[in-house]
Amino acid sequence: MSDHGPPVIGIVGAGKLGTVLARLALGAGYDVLLASSGPPQRLALIAQFLAPGAETVTAYEAIRRADVVILAIPLSRLPEMPPADLAGKVVVDATNHWLEVDGRRQEILPDAEGTSEYVQRLLPQARVVKAFNHIGYHDLDGAGLPPGDPRRRAVAIASDDHDALDFVAELVDGLGFDPVALGDLRAGRRLEPGTPAFGASLSASDLRAVLGEPVCHPDAA
Amino acid sequence: VTAADDAQEADRAGGMIVDMSTNFRPHDPADQAPSTKDVEPRLSLGLDTFGDLAVGDDGQPISYAEAIRLVVEEAVMADGAGVDAFAVGEHHRPEYSISSPEMVLGGIASRTERIRLGSGVTVLSSDDPVRVFQRFATLDAIARGRAEVILGRGSFTESFPLFGYDLRDYDVLFEEKLDLFVKLLDERPVTWSGTTRAPLEDADVFPKTEAGLRTWVGVGGTPQSVIRTARHGLRLMLAVIGGRPQRFRPYLELYRKACEEFGTTAWPVGLHSPGFVAETDEEAREMYWPGYQSMRNRIGVERGWPPASRQEFEHEIAGGSLYVGSPDTVARKIATTVADLGVARFDLIYTMGPQARSARLRAVELFGTRVAPIVRELVGHRTEVTA
């Protein structure tokens, strides 16, 4: 990661969530690399209007150049990510299982496994942090506020890597949201669809009340 | 743009001009030659429903058959009250009575004079484009040129197993079928092949329409879908069901720019959102909330959302995408959205779960007689001011 200046943010996926996160990051003064699987010209058009100021690149370039890579692609497409290139990188997993896009969950991962644990399994050497998955993209859009603003919304984060968790906490804050640390990736299951936190666009104290105490599972570390 | 996209574009370039000119209907106010101005000369205001099972005077849900007949009555009321468009959406769920939009619209067509009749949406992915075209061309004949189709991927997936499609083909089904549908719009023999249905060779499809079939694509906010709609030269209908509508402004710019790059027509854009009208704000909210809560929770269980809260409901009404209130409140909110986004059409999805049937009919009447005139006045005024 850069020794000076704000980190470079790479966003893989230029859909609803990817473009919202790109706008937030650009608005907060970060350099943004935006990548998608579609034709480069289409990506350029999307960036021109939905994320003006983002540099459009290939996914490989985003991964290579960014200090933090945000995965905003369908869960079922995560196996396309290159594990070797992501080794040692802070990787933000913003995905959720979504039937329409991904098909049945059981066909992708075991019931007992959290989706971010699955991402960590696919990318064993990446420093995976779960974030931005429980709050709707339309609740994130244009909703970044300065620290201390009473209307500020919270974003829950979870990781097995303490330094990566701190790094992403700073990023969440930089984008205009209060980070709420939930614990490790296993605890991150409490952010998935079907949990009380899923869809929650709340203040930090309200989100903490919904989530309960942070948990780290000794056997998972 | 990939080589395949280029080939597709080149392949269709010859037919595009014909397609668009036949698709042009001078008698429709929203069809004035698309201008670069944000606000069109006249705004179209419409009502949409999925044929939700209303509740009768006895508090019990009405039958599916009654729900369909209620929609027909509401459409007749809308026609008489000056509403510009009426759309019914295809669903295959117990809460909704409409799975065959064109059948309902055919019934409405024979009892109305001027209202435009459309689907919102037709789930093209799990249908046959040839049959969809034929059904809407037939409706267009009965409705004397008032038919339109809004194609979509749909926000539910029940139609996939019902008609024998695999959800894993979600993207390719829509992509290929939309491609074929656009060819059919030329109303000339079609040659097409793909992976999702049998190929066609010089196949001519009947009936022909008198002036082309107005075709929209319903888009929920995926940027790639906006570009696809522009590439095909089709109209864009934004489905906005939550959050600040103003956040969609860049999508309209994206649509226009993409049309420019593809050399297709940038049609006036439409938008639809849910809401309800009653005499007072309070009455509207109290009538809408139980249905909202019920539907939101039913769907929420499937999508993994927590139960609906009254706070979230009020929040959406205040600054989001629920147009619930008195005629004045709803009109002001619609006018603000229309002016801020520069859309030429706004449709209100006026039904939401088990509502009282009498309140629904009244909402339709209020929308036409009270809401629409205020919106027109406000938007006209604002256009003059900003011009």
Entry pTM:
0.88
CB contact burial B349-366 (16+ within 10 A = b; e otherwise): bbbbbbbbbebbbbbbbb
Neighbours of B23 (CB within 10 A): 21
Chain A residues touching B305 at Cβ < 8 A? 193, 198-199
Interface test with B, best of A49, A140, A153 (most B CBs within 10 A): A49
Q: What percent of chain A has pLDDT over 90?
A: 87
ipTM of the complex: 0.88
Complete DSSP assignment for A102-165: H--GGGTS-TTS-HHHHHHHHSTTSEEEEESSSS-HHHHTT----TT-TT--EEEEEES-HHHH
Complete DSSP assignment for B247-293: GGHHHHHHHHHHHHHHT---PPPEEEEEEEE-SSHHHHHHHHHHHHH
Least confident of A11-15, A33-37, A209-213, B26-30: B26-30
Q: What is the mean pLDDT of chain A?
A: 94
Long-range CB contacts (< 8 A, 24+ apart) of B358-362? B358/B57, B359/B278, B359/B287, B360/B54, B360/B70, B360/B74, B361/B70, B361/B73, B361/B74, B361/B77, B362/B278
The residue in chain B having the minimum alpha-carbon distance to the alpha carbon of residue A193 is B304
SS3 B124: helix
A99 touches chain B (CB under 8 A): yes
Tell me the pLDDT band of A221, cut-offs 50, 70 and 90. Answer: very low
Dist. CA A15–CA A138, nearest whole Å: 12
| Number of continuous H segments (helices) and E segments (strands) in chain B | 13, 12
A141-158 per-position pLDDT tens digit: 999 999 999 999 999 999
pLDDT given at position A4 = 67
Q: Which of B242, B184, B236 is nearest to B213 (CA)?
A: B184
CB contact (8 A) between residue A50 and residue B257: no
pLDDT given at position B21 = 32
pLDDT given at position B14 = 30
Chain A residues touching B250 at Cβ < 8 A? 49-50
Ranges of chain B whose pLDDT falls below 70? 1-41, 382-387
State which amino acid sits at residue A147.
Answer: P
pLDDT given at position B8 = 35
B223 touches chain A (CB under 8 A): yes
Q: CB-CB: which of A15, A39, A136 is closest to B222?
A: A15
Dist. CA A146–CA A152, nearest whole Å: 8
- Within 13 A of B29's CA, how many CA atoms are on the CB side? 14
Which residues are CB-neighbours of B66 under 8 A, at least 6 positions away? B56
Interface test with A, best of B159, B174, B219, B224 (most A CBs within 10 A): B224
Dist. CA A185–CA A220, nearest whole Å: 8
Q: Which helix (H) or strand (E) holds A33?
A: strand A31-35
Beta strands in chain B (DSSP E): 44-49, 85-88, 116-119, 122-123, 147-152, 190-192, 200-203, 214-219, 235-239, 270-277, 323-325, 345-349
For the cut 90, the answer to whether the pLDDT of residue A213 exceeds it is no
pLDDT given at position B20 = 33
Strand B270-277 and strand A90-93: the pairing is unpaired
pLDDT given at position B26 = 34
pLDDT given at position A217 = 85
Chain A residues touching B157 at Cβ < 8 A? 99-100
Tell me the pLDDT band of A219, cut-offs 50, 70 and 90. Answer: low
CB contact (8 A) between residue A138 and residue B1: no
CB contact (8 A) between residue A45 and residue B170: no
Using only C-alpha atoms, chain A has a radius of gyration, in whole angstroms, of 16
CB contact (8 A) between residue B222 and residue A136: no
A168-177 per-position pLDDT tens digit: 999 999 999 9
Environment class of residue A172 by beta-carbon count within 10 Å: exposed (0-12), middle (13-18) or buried (19+)? buried
A82-111 per-position pLDDT tens digit: 999 999 999 999 999 988 888 889 999 999
pLDDT given at position B9 = 34
pLDDT given at position A3 = 57
Dist. CA B307–CA B319, nearest whole Å: 20
SS3 B148: strand
CB contact (8 A) between residue B306 and residue A199: yes
Dist. CA B287–CA B48, nearest whole Å: 18
Structure tokens at B368: 């036409």
Residue A218 DSSP one-character state: G
Cis peptide before B121 (omega within 30 of 0): yes
Interface test with A, best of B123, B155, B227 (most A CBs within 10 A): B227
pLDDT given at position B306 = 86
B191-224 per-position pLDDT tens digit: 999 999 999 999 999 999 999 999 999 999 899 9
